[in-house]
Amino acid sequence: MEERIQKLMAQAGVGSRRECEKLIADGRVSVNGRTATLGDKADPATDTIVVNGRPIKPLQTESLYIALHKPKGVISSLDDELEEGRTTVRDLVPLPGHLYPVGRLDKQSTGLILMTNDGDLAHKLTHPRYGHEKTYKVIVEGRISNEALEKWREGMYLDGRKTIPAQITVIRQDVSFTHLEIVMREGRKRQIRRLANMLGFPVRQLVREKIGPLTLGSLKPGDWRHLTAKEVAALKEIVASVKGKRPYRKSGSKPPSRPGKKPGSKPTNRPPSDSRKKSGRSGGRSGSKSKR
């Protein structure tokens, strides 16, 4: 049975669907010797799919789900495997087969990384429309002000787009530092560090402690473990619970009403009374006749 190539690649553990689509777009995938393009389909029973010069087997018998505590200095992007001498999260998990991280942490950050060969789950956990919570413990330089915290909580503009509101709690505060807990529903590149710099409170330390229901627990830096069946089920449950829902919007908020549509209020898109009178006179009618 034919399936889209990126889906077959994800099933083989090459990466998430978005990562697989990028590989196809970059011309690094071929089917039966022909360079693949986005939208192509293949039959895993009869077609040969090659990624970066290596044939893949789209159907795997065992799905792997790994929790890893990424240490400082380790790269979470597998693209960096091409650069010699750089340790990636894949190097820390000596298991055979394809295995890749779900989401990323920058080189200087530590904490929880989920690794899997389940491309479908990885896609749903990283896609912005699902808005799964991730929890971080962050230490910033200086005593952060309430004004700065409110800006951060409400959302700030980053690369021309406003960030989704975040839950931020002050754990401890001193003259020289502030210890925060940050719960976010998005993960743009180096988002926490960039926002903290914009506010004037650079990050000293950043640790990710939770991804949805999955917690870092007692894992030490560099250690990893298999997820329990209960943890895997919990991850799949939060993915299934979002199916068919609209993209995340701040809890309790409503989309902005259009002018003139708010119940009990006068339309806001009508011209002022003075301008209406003037337009009435210019048309040869008395402005007073329009009053009721």
Q: How far is CA 215 from the centre of its chain?
A: 17
80 is catalytic: no
- What residues contact residue 37 under an 8 Å CB cut-off, 6+ apart? 24
The C-alpha angle with vertex 100 and arms to 168 and 204, in degrees rounded to 5, equals 35
- What residues contact residue 271 under an 8 Å CB cut-off, 6+ apart? 279
Number of CB atoms found within 10 A of residue 76's CB: 21
Amino acid occupying residue 44: P
Q: If you write DSSP's letter for every residue of 156-188 in order, what string do you get?
A: -EETTEEPPP-EEEEEEE-SSEEEEEEEES---
Place of tokens 């339309």: 267
**115: three-class secondary structure by DSSP:** strand
Alpha-carbon span 78 to 86, nearest angstrom: 10
Alpha-carbon span 96 to 254, nearest angstrom: 48
Alpha-carbon span 163 to 160, nearest angstrom: 10
- R_g over Cα of the chain: 26
Q: 40, 47, 80, 106: which one is catalytic?
A: 106
H helix runs in 175-269, sequence order:
191-199, 229-242
Whether 158 and 169 have beta carbons less than 8 Å apart is answered as no
Annotated active-site positions, please? 106
